[in-house]
Chain A
Amino acid sequence: MEILTKRFENVGETLQTAVLDNGLHICVVPKKGFSSFFACFGTYYGSVMRSFDLAGVRHDTPAGVAHYLEHKMFDMPGGDNALQSMTATGADPNAFTAYDETVYYFHCTEHFEENLRTLLRFVTTPYFTAETVEKEQGIIAQEIRMYDDEPDNAVYVDLMKLLYKSHPVRDDIAGTVESIAEIDADTLYACHRAFYTPGNMCLCVAGDVDAAAICAIAEEMLGGEKGEVPQPVVYEENDAPEKLYTERVMSVSAPQFLLGAAYRPTEGDVLRERIVARLAMRLLCGTSSPLYTRLYREGILNRNFAYGTDFPANTAQLTAGGESPDPQRVYDELMGEVDRIAAEGFDPDAFERAKRASLGARLRGFEDFDSVCLTAFDAERLGYCIFDAPAVLASVTAEECRDFLVRVLTRERTALSVVRPQTHA
């Protein structure tokens, strides 16, 4: 096992990486002078991997299994709970499940190595009983209900359903109150055996730490066995959406919306494409764009507006959303702005300013241990380095950004999802 150390003087960061004999990827971002630590350990397994073959047996699992498994991983044999053991040292442990990853993490200021050992141990120790699995249903049902009442969540899931006809990113990560009722201990064991093998996992750490010590602990805790990882099902989704608009009613103060388009991410330079996507969206509708400032002035948009670039489970979306008295107008104006950009390109001065702002925003992002580690977790699978971003950004051209926007944000592919306020009779 070899530890590669790369220094990025331009941003004052260092990245250390290693791959253990058991296949585990490790990323360490040393942060001298800080007393906080952040570690995340996860598997590239999430809600979309519902069907898989394990030891010659086909498994078709209910919606929401990956998330259910995440909740139950904290239970340890003998009635211990990893959440409580870590919290006892002052650490703040947590976890999340996404479409194609499940990540367990903690923040702490003391007893880092002890907590790291606990993290590695509990995530690789499945322990489920009929009783403990049953007990979690009430908790997860309330988690699902909580999201049901959030308009931001509603516009997002509705948009994904418009954009994808068959890809499982259209289905909800936590499943439904009904689907989770089908989950039992055997299902959880099978999913754990299939996907929680070191060769399908990654550990990322930020803090005043030593990479060699972390690798040694991981080797000691996880052993040398590689395990077999099921081949993921590849979902193809090429067609433009059949429907471009959807709405529902909730108790909200004003219409909430999210518009967006899906595209196939490149198989080439992933980092570059993501940087282009982000910069292109900033130029199109960022806080200093002509479009945003005009719609803000006209009362069509307010400060509750944001754009997004998301890349879950080998898919990609550009989105923009917030609150507006007239979401359709925002959609039309945005499409009109893409036409204008297609014809005129970006103002060269504005483009250079946006690149500056983007550099500053990336520096700000490097400040945050969580973002750095969680982005590194993703980058490790895709084979890029997060700290290369500023250098790549410097080489991005206005034409690249324009061509990207014009290719992705077409009228045939851009959909609009709206939550309207309930009107009382």
Chain B
Amino acid sequence: MEYTRSEIQNGVWLTHIRSDKFKTACLSITLLTQLRRETAAMNALLPLVLRRGTSRYGDMEAISGRLDELYGAAIEPVVRRIGEIQCIGFFASVPEEDFLPAGADTLRGTCELMGQMLLSPNTRGGLLLPDYVDSERGKLIEMIRARLNDKLGYSINRCIEEMCCCEDYAVSRLGDEESAAAIRYQKLTKQYRSVIQSSPIEIFYCGRAEQKRVESLLRDALSTLPRGEIDYDIGTDVRLNSLEAAPREYTEPMNVTQAKLVIGWRLGEAMEEPNPAALRVFSSLLGGSTASKLFVNVREKLSLCYFASVIVDVHKGVLLAYAGTEFDNVERAKEEIFAQLAAIANGEITDEELSAARADVKSALKSAQDSQGALEGFYLSAVLDGADYSPEELGALVDEVTKDDMVAIAQGCECDMIYTLTGDGSEEDEDDEEIAEPTEEELRAFEEDEDGDPDKEI
């Protein structure tokens, strides 16, 4: 794999990875904006509206038809939150021409269509179509409300909202319902013009095409990109300490059959000069794999839950541990999670545990090189950290992570919020209902992301 990174226009960076391994290329265009309550919903709405129609392909039918012609190339609107940066744009998966009938021109077609979505939306009098804005605003509100349908994801988000109530980090990647409801097409057009001029733009490509060809296709596709003064002054505000001396607690009743416990900590001193390799190993050691402290103790030894895991946000310096348990077992699960973190802080880490955590992180980094999607996420995240290492280089640093690093990280953690989703009493008379095929790994790898491709086939 050959890696290059270059600025192809003012404030437009292309990360290019050439590889013959894959049958579909990955191409993403991401605009980086500061996550703020006032603009989050508008920014989230932009790619959804832009995806509705371009000056050439005026509506969804035309766009979908064009994508079918391009052998099912997929261009999806994407809204992500990395730390306190809101990343909006498009993610494309492009079938490689080598496996298609002669004459297939999928990469050019996809670059052109993506460029049109970004720069030539279907407008009237220079304004985004009211019809599209109203329709997608309704759907955005549906998406914001639908967070409720995934009880674990909902609980994790609620914990963050309560824990970081005075920080932009509390703002969801989609913004809030009230701000979304207030969006009108004139206002959104104004926001579009501003974002398109001032946002740093990150483009990622991984596939068979040479850097020169990709750059040239993108230069053509983005030739009308208006660039003003680029706003590089974006970033994530790290808070080292908890808000109050003792952890705050929040319990929310709902009609559910299982309680969800989410505990949030500030990583504290570990964020003064963050060591990404050590933080990843720490995450794995505490709750990242089936050899982790939480899995072995909270699940296997005490049988309190089916899943008990952690998320470490290295951008924001936040640690979240979560588990699903019986209502009556929430306290025991909580005590055990705190006990396991305390064990690490006391140096109670076996050589086997540390070595399993290191191996887990190294394996994840190595296998990222076999997935364009994982590479895309890795490099975007690295860019926002101002880092320029590859997964392989970061993997090499993992060997240097010590037990003392783990102890230091655990000792610095300050608990800030304990959130519990619990029953509201209405569940008691319900019969046990049915369940379907389990997908355990989906849970372990919780991510706040889009749904899968409905047309996926094998």
Contacts and interface: CB of A to CB of B under 8 A. Distances in A.
B363 A108 contact: yes
B148 A154 contact: no
Contact of A149 (B96, B256, B451): B256
Interface string B288-329: 011100001001100111110000000000000000111000
A386 B289 CA distance: 32
A14 interface: no
Contact of A142 (B73, B147, B258, B437): B258
Given A90-B359, A251-B148, A84 B291 contact: yes
B43 to A, nearest CB: 17
B69 A253 contact: no
Contact of A139 (B289, B306, B362): B306
Interface string A247-280: 0001111101000000000000000000000100
B436 A156 contact: yes
A104 B61 CA distance: 42
28 contacts: A35-B366, A91-B363, A92-B289, A92-B360, A96-B438, A109-B366, A139-B300, A142-B325, A144-B432, A145-B257, A146-B307, A146-B443, A150-B151, A157-B435, A173-B437, A174-B438, A250-B255, A251-B255, A253-B148, A253-B149, A254-B142, A353-B68, A356-B71, A360-B73, A361-B453, A365-B457, A367-B22, A371-B458
Interface in A155-206: 156-158, 160-161, 171-174, 176-178
A235 interface: no
A162 B15 CA distance: 51
Interface of B: 20-24, 59-61, 64-65, 67-73, 93, 95-96, 98-100, 106, 135, 138-139, 142-143, 145-151, 254-258, 289-291, 296, 299-300, 303-307, 324-326, 352, 355-356, 359-360, 362-363, 366-367, 369-370, 432-441, 443, 451-458
A375 interface: yes
A358 B362 CA distance: 35
B436 A153 contact: yes
Contacts of A306: 451-452, 454
Contacts of B438: 67, 96-97, 143, 147, 173-174
Contacts, number: 270
Given A136-B303, A363-B95, 18 more contacts: A33-B21, A81-B300, A87-B289, A90-B363, A107-B363, A138-B304, A145-B326, A149-B151, A149-B258, A172-B435, A299-B135, A350-B65, A356-B69, A359-B72, A359-B100, A360-B72, A363-B23, A364-B457
Given A11-B23, A173-B437, A299 B138 contact: yes
A107 B69 CA distance: 35
A47 to B, nearest CB: 9
A51 interface: no
B64 A363 contact: no
Given A35-B366, A98-B437, A304 B432 contact: no
